[in-house]
Amino acid sequence: MFENELETIPASLHLISEARPLIDVRAPVEFAQDALPGAVNLPLMVDEERRQVGIAYKQQGQHAAIALGERLVSGDIKQARVAAWQAYLAEHPDAIIYCFRGGLRSQIAQQWLNEAGIAKPRIRGGWKAMRHALCQRIDVAAEQPMLVVAGLTGCAKTTLINRLDNGVDLEACAHHKGSAFGRRPEAPATQIDFEHALAARLLALPGKLVIEDESRQIGSANIPLTFWYALQKAPRVRIEMPLDWRLDQLLNDYIIELEREYTAHFGAQQGWELMQRQLGNALIRLEKRLGNARLQRMQRLQALAFKAHGEGNPQAHEAWLAPLLTEYYDPLYRYHLEKQRATAAPELHVGDWDSCWEAAKQWSA
């Protein structure tokens, strides 16, 4: 069925670190669950075609499944799939093809492209081999020197991380800010996509790493255990900033920046409505910890703040953000800190944001 000279290349992390264009020919449902960093989905079969072929494989075997696939993806449909690959390759001539295991689907794509006069390699072992290599990179990183940046909510820990060349922003990898209020307009990363994004970031950082103090779960994803255990043992710096300063940070992150993101995604009116719904639901998710009376008080303050915000005064949100900090986040973090002190490495430095940034730079150097 295939030419013997169809080229393969090994599953190498250089493909990710060099940002090589990747064509994922798996079905859209597979791609949505676990893509490789930088890949584009140009499927050989769409979801329904894949489903039918899968049923044929289970009931009648491989030959029947292949025959059905050839019937489903033929004629104009086949031409459209090849045309999509050709169009992408015209703009990205160094692109590489992959499927789940580097087998039948990527070979078919190669063969069809060959028939169109285009020879392109596929990744040997496909997505599965690349994922294995990415997960290994995270395990290796667990042995690298780490510094953890700690501090109460609103201390701009993420900002400090991103000011450093060797900072690893776990929240960016997760597409989530990490708290009940951390949901963004785009969907949070799946577990696999989070791990792939983390590994891709680590590829550029062979030495010391600076990472924010996080819970193990960030949005929908969990920090891999080897990496998590290393974080718990790592030395740390702790930022201490006054409440007013932290409120300004929280107002920017939870309100100003969130509104900008929602309106950019959904337009002014729908974005405004969805943002209000997200923040309202975030408060409700804290009911068990806040208690009903405090929840209702904060909900009233939040409703008044949104009314004032709609009239041009986003600063009004401080009325409910301040008790959210002092009555929920601060006690929770101090409890977490006390538990950590029994097992965690000593704090290298405690001070304001600027001094912690300097301390992190010095440690990194």
What count of Cα atoms within 13 Å lies in the side-chain half-sphere of residue 239? 27
State the architecture of 142-364 in CATH terms: 3-Layer(aba) Sandwich (3.40)
pLDDT digits (tens, 9 = 90+) for 130-160: 999 999 999 999 999 999 999 999 999 999 9
- pLDDT(103) > 90: no
pLDDT bucket at 349, cuts 50 / 70 / 90: very high
Topology of domain 8-132 in CATH is Oxidized Rhodanese; domain 1 (3.40.250)
Quick one: pLDDT at residue 3?
Answer: 47
Q: Please write the tens of the pLDDT for every residue from 191-238.
A: 999 999 999 999 999 999 999 999 899 988 999 999 999 999 999 999
The pLDDT of residue 4 is 53
- The answer to whether 135 is a known catalytic residue is no
Share of the chain above pLDDT 70, in %: 98
- Domain range list for the chain: 8-132, 142-364
pLDDT digits (tens, 9 = 90+) for 289-344: 899 999 999 999 999 999 999 999 999 999 999 999 999 999 988 888 777 776 66
